[in-house]
Structure 1
């Protein structure tokens, strides 16, 4: 299996635009810390712990300083670090152009910890797998597809490439002003249509011939709700998501339960 994480060092331009999206947030320095080498390392270590034979890749821009991690290949692309949402898609597409359909490929965020192997997932029949979120504030989630995990089945390699090209076109047509944040996920949900996604789950969703597995976020993207520096062990979750300022407790969780 191949696991690829995208990360670039962002700057003031991104933070200013993000602040306009979410003017009530006062903790941008905690949500986007200057140095996330530790978090990236913990994510890769957790992947290797569950998938010892996997290939680990960090996708980044031409200039972001990267602490060389043992067993991690760094691939650099000519992308704009101030537009992470859009440029992540560009880097993923560029990577697929040089990849082969010989093994599963997983694109994921760096603020995840894997607790269990997902190899058995790729024994199932599908073309690509996305994270499904059922509920939000007491109702069905208005944007049920989360863009932080994309699993590509070897048998669905070409269909996955075509799907991401369609997402790219949708992005440019509808969300070109949201290259810093939100546009990728919005494009996914616009194409797949929330109502159709909810109606399909737990079965697969078919989109233009591509069979999409919907992975429940409660198992494959469980959001850690941390208060303070201590987090309960969550042994029944395959993948944990330390989003926003919760990244601060990734180290404690890794050291307490997984190291």
Structure 2
């Protein structure tokens, strides 16, 4: 907002704008002195929740849209690197993998993509799995559910001795703590979603955990097929964005009879649907998004484990990784950079 004018300045900036650290004085929130964390925010830097046998794989859907009309104005610079639209999309994907390899170095990353899509990935423990479908921009959210189901159908039903669990995520998240504890601390659930205190869209589909047992895979696949049915029958007008979340909300309200009060407190809980055990994890910890405007929120929870850089926050994702990777900082210090960064109008 322009000072004293009352007019919102909608110009996009090519740099981060830092403001006061929200949550100061609250014992359950991250406390910062500049970019230095004054309290610890995470429990471990490596996967300790499983023995040498267990594992977690992250699964994401990603494709590139090549533009033949790219111009100099499409270029943006983050740190010392300049990106066009395709390059910055791939940079976000690389950063997503980088954060996982720091926080959960034993984990694998599986990228589901359009067979016609081509992009370079040379990261360790990372593989690309082409799955046929319609990956156009207007259909991508619908295709994401279809690709998740197709992926689960490729999993062997005769379980090996070593169980591999799966966490399906958007590619614009940063995993900042080991998530393997989810499967250990809540041993009965089949699949998990993250929730927020939002009456119309209580669930966010940016993170879905699936237990890698025979029963977990089968029940997760059936549940996602039900989501797909509701999506295509009721919410195709939102096929580009939010249709999956609207379908999930419809199922939660009509078939699980969950109400707004069930999502009001940021505490994990479990519900049953026709024999499927669903774990609900609070977005405040497992899918936290930097809100708009520094100081307009209560700060960052101390035990945050996943930061979701939705929409134009993606510059902040790259800036955060560069800060962590190029300095002597640790993850809590990097979280201070995120906490201090006001989301005004970033450039992508």
Show the 5 A alignment for 1:21-170: 33-35=85-87, 36-71=89-124, 72-82=126-136, 83-100=139-156, 102-123=163-184, 124=186, 125-134=188-197, 140-155=198-213, 156-170=216-230
**How far is the alpha carbon of 1:64 from its aligned partner?**
2.1
Which residue pairs with 1:204 in the alignment? 270
Q: Deviations 1:217-251 (Å, cap 9, x if unpaired)?
A: 111111124769xxx99763100011111101111
- Give the structure-1-normalised TM-score: 0.81
Q: Match of 1:57, SS?
A: strand
Q: Match of 2:144, SS?
A: helix
1:199 and 1:161 map into 2 onto residues whose CA distance is: 28
Q: Which moved more, 1:187-196 or 1:247-256?
A: 187-196
Q: Deviations 1:47-85 (Å, cap 9, x if unpaired)?
A: 122222212111110222212232210111222121101
**How far is the alpha carbon of 1:256 from its aligned partner?**
2.0
Runs of 4+ in 1 over 4 A off after TM superposition: 232-235
Contact 2:59–2:169 (Cα < 8 Å) also in 1:
yes
**How far is the alpha carbon of 1:41 from its aligned partner?**
0.8
1:85 and 1:91 map into 2 onto residues whose CA distance is: 10
Which residue pairs with 2:314 in the alignment? 247
Which residue pairs with 2:30 in the alignment? none
Contact 2:203–2:248 (Cα < 8 Å) also in 1:
yes
1:161 and 1:178 map into 2 onto residues whose CA distance is: 22
Which segments of 5 or more consecutive residues in structure 2 lack a partner in the other structure?
Answer: 1-55, 68-74, 77-84, 327-348
Contact 2:64–2:119 (Cα < 8 Å) also in 1:
no
Contact 1:144–1:197 (Cα < 8 Å) also in 2:
no
Which residue pairs with 1:2 in the alignment? 57
Number of residue pairs aligned between Structure 1 and Structure 2: 235
**How far is the alpha carbon of 1:254 from its aligned partner?**
1.5
Structure with greater helix percent: 1
Q: Match of 1:193, SS?
A: helix
Q: Which moved more, 1:44-53 or 1:114-123?
A: 44-53
Q: Match of 2:174, SS?
A: strand
Q: Deviations 1:5-45 (Å, cap 9, x if unpaired)?
A: 10123479xxxxxxxxxxxxxxxx99xx4441111111111
1:10 and 1:181 map into 2 onto residues whose CA distance is: 17
Q: CA RMSD in A?
A: 2.8
